[in-house]
């Protein structure tokens, strides 16, 4: 059982977007190439993102909405997992995506855009580019916020002697900035969705017992691969299906609670076994007359009394678990 396995986890890997962060982006800065206006670039970007479920797409659509932009028509929408999206506008291929998209298309943005990207990523903002005919036409910096509960969860896990790592499809600079803020030493950046579960199995082959925490967006296979998969983030359907444990509130501190509860349940199980067998070890031989030569013999009545007493003790002992469950960690 997953909760039982959670007790001897060596490392907890958190997905970044939507798990350690809220996954609610806002557009905070933009830059467009020559011959482009902010309006035209944003309208095209939003149109390309129309069918994407990614939180970055939602932010870009909201931004275009709030500017009352009229969107051009696009067709042939396709999601490029972990990289961005592509579509066709005016019979031309258009893309919106992050660093792994630029790498795939072998595109180098202008110096001004590169500077824009580096500066924003260093301060933890995700940067995506609008690409038209092999050229970067615009770049957007999107800010997400780290959940305040994440910091507490990371610290508590580290105090328990459990390693904490972060996994993300986002750029190295963004990952470093978020990891620093949360005091996470180990992080893996620019990991494509299909490689997230490989990271989990790499750690498992080092002999570590791995818990993976994610929101199911691009990390469902990793949740399945982990010894304990924990879904967060109002549970996307995939996350609920792939995970062993679903946290109904979007609170990373509940990861600490699951592990503490599992350790406590195990302790109780051992204690209960001792109580229950203790009765048998001591009372049965007594009842059988083992100490009869020394004048000690358990009458059937006392034996029965002890028997129910041991059940009461086991029940009471299990009850104390409630305090662990409800208490703050």
Cα gap 33→239, rounded to integer Å = 39
Among 27, 42, 54, 243, binds ligand ADP (CB under 6 A): 54
Cα gap 184→154, rounded to integer Å = 8
Q: Strand locations in the chain, DSSP E?
A: 11-15, 26-32, 75-80, 84-89, 92-97, 126-132, 135-143, 163-167, 186-188, 210-214, 228-231, 245-246
- The answer to whether 223 contacts Mg ion (rule: CB under 5 A) is no
The binder of 56, among Mg ion, ligand ADP, none, by C-beta within 5 to 8 A per type, is ligand ADP
Q: What minimum distance in Å lies between the beta carbon of 160 and ligand ADP?
A: 25
Residue 90 annotated to the active site? no
Residues 177-206 that bind ligand ADP (CB under 6 A): 193
* Cβ distance to ligand ADP smaller for residue 219 or 227: 219
Residues 20-49 that bind ligand ADP (CB under 6 A): 49
8, 10, 15, 254: the active-site residue? 15
Q: What minimum distance in Å lies between the beta carbon of 83 and ligand ADP?
A: 6
The binder of 126, among ligand ADP, Mg ion, none, by C-beta within 5 to 8 A per type, is ligand ADP
* DSSP of 165-201: EEE-SS-HHHHHHHHHHHT--EEE-S--HHHHHHHHH
Query: What does each C-alpha distance from 125 to 28, 140, 173, 278 come to in angstroms?
Result: 9, 9, 9, 60
Query: What does each C-alpha distance from 225 to 1, 61, 164, 214 come to in angstroms?
Result: 15, 34, 17, 12
- The answer to whether 144 contacts ligand ADP (rule: CB under 6 A) is no
Give residue for tokens 């049965």.
284
Q: What minimum distance in Å lies between the beta carbon of 95 and ligand ADP?
A: 9
Q: Which residues bind ligand ADP (CB under 6 A)?
A: 15-18, 49, 52, 54, 56-57, 82-85, 96-98, 126, 128, 168-170, 193, 217-218
Q: Please give the residue ranges that form the binding site for Mg ion (CB under 5 A).
A: 15, 17-18, 217
Looking at the annotation, which residues are catalytic? 15
């Amino acid at each position: 059982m997953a909760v039982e396995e959670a007790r001897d986890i060596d490392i907890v890997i958190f997905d970044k977007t939507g798990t350690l962060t809220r996954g609610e982006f806002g557009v905070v800065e933009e830059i467009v190439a020559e011959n482009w206006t902010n309006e035209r670039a944003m309208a095209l970007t939003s149109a390309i993102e129309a069918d994407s479920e990614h939180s970055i797409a939602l932010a870009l659509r909201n931004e275009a909405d709030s500017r009352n932009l009229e969107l051009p028509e696009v067709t042939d929408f396709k999601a490029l997992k972990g990289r961005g999206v592509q579509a066709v506008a005016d019979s031309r291929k258009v893309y919106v995506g992050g660093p792994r998209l630029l790498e795939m298309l072998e595109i180098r943005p202008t110096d001004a855009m590169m500077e824009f990207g580096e500066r924003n990523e260093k301060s933890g903002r995700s940067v995506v580019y609008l690409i038209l005919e092999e050229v970067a036409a615009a770049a957007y910096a999107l800010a997400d916020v780290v959940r305040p509960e994440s910091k507490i969860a990371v610290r508590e896990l580290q105090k328990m002697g459990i390693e904490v790592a972060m996994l993300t499809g986002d750029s190295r600079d963004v990952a470093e900035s978020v990891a620093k803020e949360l005091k996470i030493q180990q992080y893996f950046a620019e990991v494509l969705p299909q490689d997230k579960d490989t990271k989990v199995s790499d750690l498992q082959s080092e002999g570590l017992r791995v818990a993976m925490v994610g929101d199911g967006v691009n990390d469902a296979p990793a949740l399945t691969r982990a010894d304990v998969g924990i879904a967060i983030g109002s549970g996307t359907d995939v996350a609920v299906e792939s995970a062993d444990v679903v946290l109904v509130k979007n609170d990373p501190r509940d990861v600490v609670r699951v592990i503490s509860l599992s350790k406590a349940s195990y302790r109780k199980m051992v204690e209960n076994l001792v109580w229950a067998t203790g009765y048998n070890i001591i009372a049965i031989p007594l009842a059988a007359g083992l100490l009869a030569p020394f004048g000690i013999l358990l009458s059937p009545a006392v034996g029965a009394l002890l028997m129910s007493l041991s059940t009461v003790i086991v029940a009471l002992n299990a009850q104390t678990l409630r305090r662990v469950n409800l208490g703050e960690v």
